Amino acid sequence: MDAIMLPLLTCLFIAFDSISGNIAAVANHIWKSSIMRKGLYHKFGSIMLVALAYLIDYAQKFVDLGFQVPIAAGVCVYIILMELGSIIENIGKINPDLLPAQIRKIIGLGRKEDEED
């Protein structure tokens, strides 16, 4: 895999989550700029963590940091999985019929009809 692909994919998942979250908020009439700003700060924090992880991996080549472990790939995978969960949750908020009742219950998107089953 090209060196740029993993951080690029991570950023794409972050962007997809942001877009799907905004669509879900608008669809449910709960969009608020203050909540969006908070979400954007969280997204920038994720991007900064990816940049820091790559900086640490690069620095390990020149400086003894006390450890010699590549961490950037693990950080990217963690963020991608975290964003994937959020994207699925957002999709469920946009259209609950796309997710089976069991999955909606697990992610906390249960509907009244689901509780009666």
- Mean local confidence (pLDDT), 92-100: 84
Whole-angstrom CA distances from 115 to 20, 90, 105 are 26, 20, 9
pLDDT band at 92 (very low <50, low <70, confident <90, very high): confident
Query: Do 50 and 10 meet the contact criterion of CB atoms below 8 Å apart?
Result: yes
pLDDT band at 90 (very low <50, low <70, confident <90, very high): very high
Per-residue model confidence (pLDDT) at position 116: 53
Whose tokens are 């692909």? That residue is 5
Each domain of the chain, given as residue ranges in start order, spans 5-116
String of DSSP letters for 45-108: HHHHHHHHHHHHHHHTTTS--S-----HHHHHHHHHHHHHHHHHHHHHHH-GGGS-HHHHHHTT
- Count CA within 13 A, CB hemisphere, residue 32: 4
Question: Are the C-beta atoms of 76 and 10 separated by less than 8 Å?
Answer: yes
Q: pLDDT confidence of 7, banded at 50, 70, 90?
A: very high
Read off the pLDDT of each residue in 78-88 and give the average, rounded to a whole number: 94
Q: Is the pLDDT of residue 104 over 90?
A: no
Mean pLDDT score, 63-74: 90
Mean pLDDT of the chain: 88
Residue 22 is inside which H or E element, if any? Answer: helix 5-27
Percentage of residues in the chain having pLDDT higher than 70: 89
Q: What is the pLDDT of residue 3?
A: 77
Confidence of residue 47 (pLDDT cuts 50, 70, 90): very high
Q: What is the model's pLDDT at position 113? A: 54
